[in-house]
Chains A and B, each alone.
Chain A
Amino acid sequence: MGDGREQRRGVAFVAHCLLNQNSKVGDGAHCAGIYSPVVDVLRARGWRIEQMPCPELAFTGLNRFWAVREQLDTTAYRRHCRRLAAAVADMMAVRAGRGEDIVLIGVEGSPSMGVHVTSSDPARGGLPEWPAGTPELTSGEGIFIEELRAELGHRGITAGLGGETHALPGHDELTQRTRLESVLAQPGEPVRRGPGGTGGGKPPIRRGPGGIVPPEEAP
């Protein structure tokens, strides 16, 4: 590197849609296929990439409606997420067993893949009409991330946590890049075992003048 700092390298397990925007809910694809800003950071830092499965795609399909956590939080969907999480955790266990650092990169605002910000509205249901601008974004994890972190906790695997913010209002690519680089520099945040729910204990999201600001990593 030449600047005296050792650059840590490891394996980044990324949300499926970051490599394949075709998996997004209708009208949710931000680009044709690969969301390059995340890949560029990982390449520049020499991190290996592993793509996680999209939990919503195989369960609710390509024609799914936009949904909040409460609509997806069923026994069957959690069972589906646990199955996928076990497969991902198997892969992580192999990498962790080789002493590799692991980072988990989700998608902020997602009811399934949110890391610090998810979507929630207990009143949503029935005919899919609601006022534009309904404030559904809230602090917490998506359901798949919650199940995966529980599985990793059972196995004693630690992973850093990062969330891509391109779906949040006020997304700023430079800020996102800086935040992701910070996670890669210190990937060893312990995975905490916690009860199911909405990611309790996380700091609340902040609403800045430019939009939603994900909370910093929990201490």
Chain B
Amino acid sequence: MKPDERSFRIALVADRYVNPAPGGLDALAVLAQAGWGAMQLPADDYPAEIAARVLAEVTEQAEEFSRHGYDFVLIGDRDGLAEALAAAGLDIPDQIVPSGAAELLGFLNARPAPGASTWSWLSRS
């Protein structure tokens, strides 16, 4: 069986870094380079009730990752995220509002290894 390549590291990412304006920071490229997964936060142009539903779903999934020891960070910000996470007993994770790719990469690479990476039942390379 092919080894499981997951990193146990996930970034909650503001939409403006997932869909950057021309010349803006492409966080997906940096996350791919650093070996992190992404969970996209809703764009600011969605109506509030739609954004709230999306944030609730993001929170539900973040809760499952968190209870298994996956590492989380927040890239950028999103109105309503703190309230959604708090409803599930989660805090805002360590956050960065990066000015460039190098700063974001340095932040990601400086994180300690997450506890979940000790899962022994996965096939690892």
Contact = CB atoms under 8 A, between A and B. Distances in A.
Interface of A: 16, 19-24, 26-34, 36, 39, 43, 48-51, 53-54, 57-58, 61-63, 84, 87, 90-91, 94
B9 A23 contact: no
A51 B64 contact: no
B40 A49 contact: yes
Contact of A94 (B1, B36, B50, B123): B50
B2 A33 contact: no
Contact of B7 (A33, A49, A51, A53): A33
5 contacts: A22-B70, A33-B31, A34-B36, A87-B53, A90-B53
Contact of B5 (A21, A48, A53): A21
B6 interface: yes
Given A33-B31, A39-B28, A54-B61, A24 B6 contact: yes
A29 B10 CA distance: 14
Given A19-B40, A91-B50, A33 B61 contact: no
A29 B68 contact: no
Given A33-B36, A49-B40, A91-B50, A22 B8 contact: yes
Interface in B1-56: 1-10, 18-19, 26, 28, 31-32, 35-40, 42, 45-47, 50, 53-54
A51 B41 CA distance: 9
Contacts of A51: 18, 38-40
Contact of A33 (B19, B38, B47, B119): B38
Given A27-B4, A34-B36, A48-B19, A20 B64 contact: no
